[in-house]
Amino acid sequence: MKMNYSKEFRVQPDSKVKLDKIDANYKGDEKDKESAQITIAKYVQRLPELQYLMYAENKRSLLIILQGMDAAGKDGTINHVMSVMNPQGCRVYAFKTPSVREQARDFLWRIHAAAPRKGEVAIFNRSQYEDVLVVRVHNLVPKEVWSKRYEEINAFERLLANYGTHILKFYLHIDREEQLARFKQRLDDPSRYWKISESDYNERKYWDDYQEAFEDAISKCSTDYAPWYIIPANRKWFRNLAVSQILVDTLESLKMKFPEPTVNIEEIRKKYHAALREEKRNA
């Protein structure tokens, strides 16, 4: 019987998260990477089918939020799990330092502009949560400002949910040792040099502060309508397995249906056969 990661990793509303109590190396009952890859392939094959159904139905949308420490695997998750989706109905947004234009508005302005329309999937690589994470850790705004944002984020996500957006938020959980090992991989692989940044190493001294900020964000903002999932992510293959299963299970639970035709199919079929006969006569 397969493990139900939708239930296992979902953070219940009003629960208190302690990340140091969660094993980032956890792999459940999965035997090994090779056997897991077979299951991942099935989920990855199913994802574009469900995305196509959502696009055709055009009644709801899906917002996927990826957060985690530097090198947690946000890009990797998008590449290995979600890149199979049709770009016509799937958009990826990477939220970096706000521009001058964005800073002149409320912190949710740029986020709302990127929210998915009906029939669409939006993937956020970082998100509105940066405004209760890096902003908090580096004291970019006073506590009396960022501390109110949890409630504002919940209200914003409630608004999206009320208008048909299903929200899945994934915290990719790695430990300090794994982060350092991944930084070394970047130093040893010329194809990853472009990912290297001095800030990555500078930010490590704030590890505990970030962990505390993530714990508060997840604890205060995991709701029935926008749940957080904490994904053990030291093993990249297990991360991909858990995320892909949760995505597929969630989309299948929506019981989506193709819309009824807006034309008379039988009449169109008759015209098709008539046109086919005409072409054969003229051939």
Residue 190 CB-density burial (10 A; 0-12 exposed, 13-18 middle, 19+ buried): exposed
Q: Is the pLDDT of residue 275 over 90?
A: no
* Cα 165 from Cα 225, distance rounded (Å): 9
* Cα 150 from Cα 8, distance rounded (Å): 24
pLDDT digits (tens, 9 = 90+) for 96-119: 999 999 999 999 999 999 999 999
Tell how far CA 281 is from the center of its chain.
55
Rg (CA), the chain: 22
Q: Is the pLDDT of residue 70 over 70?
A: yes
Residue 192: per-residue pLDDT: 84
- Stated as kind and residue range, the H or E segment containing 120 is none
Residue 1: per-residue pLDDT: 62
Mean pLDDT of 7-15: 97
Q: Closest Cα to residue 245, out of 28, 14, 94?
A: 28
Look over the chain and give the mean of its residue pLDDT values, rounded to a whole number. Answer: 95
Residue 268: per-residue pLDDT: 87
* Cα 269 from Cα 100, distance rounded (Å): 56
pLDDT digits (tens, 9 = 90+) for 192-250: 888 888 787 889 999 999 999 999 999 999 999 999 999 999 999 999 999 999 999 99
Q: Is the pLDDT of residue 262 over 90?
A: no
Per DSSP, what are the bridge partners of residue 121? 62, 90
CB contact set of 172 (below 8 Å; sequence gap of 6+): 66, 67, 68, 72, 73, 74, 77, 231, 233, 239
Residue 244 contacts residue 250 (beta carbons within 8 Å)? no
Tell how far CA 258 is from the center of its chain.
24
Residue 177: per-residue pLDDT: 97
Q: Which CATH number belongs to the domain containing residue 146 in this structure?
A: 3.40.50.300
Q: In what order do the strands lie in the sheet with 228-232?
A: 90-94, 121-125, 61-68, 165-173, 228-232
pTM score, whole prediction: 0.94
Instruction: Give the chain's domain count.
Output: 1
Q: Which domain holds residue 254?
A: 5-282
pLDDT confidence tier of residue 31, bands split at 50, 70 and 90: confident
